Amino acid sequence: MRVLGIESSCDETGIAIYQSEQGLLAHQLYSQVKLHADYGGVVPELASRDHIRKTLPLIEAALQQAQLSAEDIDGVAYTAGPGLVGALLVGACIGRSLAYGWDKPAVAVHHMEGHLLAPMLESPRPQFPFVALLVSGGHTQLVRVDGIGSYQLLGESVDDAAGEAFDKTAKLMGLDYPGGPRLAKLAEQGRSGIYQFPRPMTDRPGLDFSFSGLKTFAANTIAAADDREQARADIARAFQEAVVDTLVIKCRRALKQTGLKRLVVAGGVSANQYLRETLQQTMNKLSGEVFYPRPEFCTDNGAMIAYAGCQRLLAGERADTAIKTYPRWPLADLAPLK
The answer to whether 300 is annotated as binding is: yes
The answer to whether 117 is annotated as binding is: no
Neighbours of 153 (CB within 10 A): 13
The answer to whether 167 is annotated as binding is: yes
The answer to whether 40 is annotated as binding is: no
Measuring CA to CA, which residue among 253, 283, 249, 247 is closest to residue 267? Answer: 247
Element housing 200 (H / E) = none
Rounded Cα gap, residues 164 and 179, in angstroms: 9
Q: Strand 262-266 relative to strand 75-81: parallel, antiparallel, unpaired?
A: unpaired
The answer to whether 159 is annotated as binding is: no
- What's the length of the chain? 338
The answer to whether 234 is annotated as binding is: no
Measuring CA to CA, which residue among 183, 289, 155 is closest to residue 242? Answer: 183
The answer to whether 135 is annotated as binding is: yes
Beta-strand ranges (E) seen in 116-261 are 130-135, 140-147, 150-156
The answer to whether 134 is annotated as binding is: yes
The answer to whether 14 is annotated as binding is: no
Q: In angstroms, how far is the first alpha carbon of the chain from the final one?
A: 18
Neighbours of 261 (CB within 10 A): 14
The residue type found at 40 is G
Please report, in range form, the residues annotated as the binding site for Fe cation: 111, 115, 300
Please report, in range form, the residues annotated as the binding site: 111, 115, 134-138, 167, 180, 272, 300
Please report, in range form, the residues annotated as the binding site for substrate: 134-138, 167, 180, 272
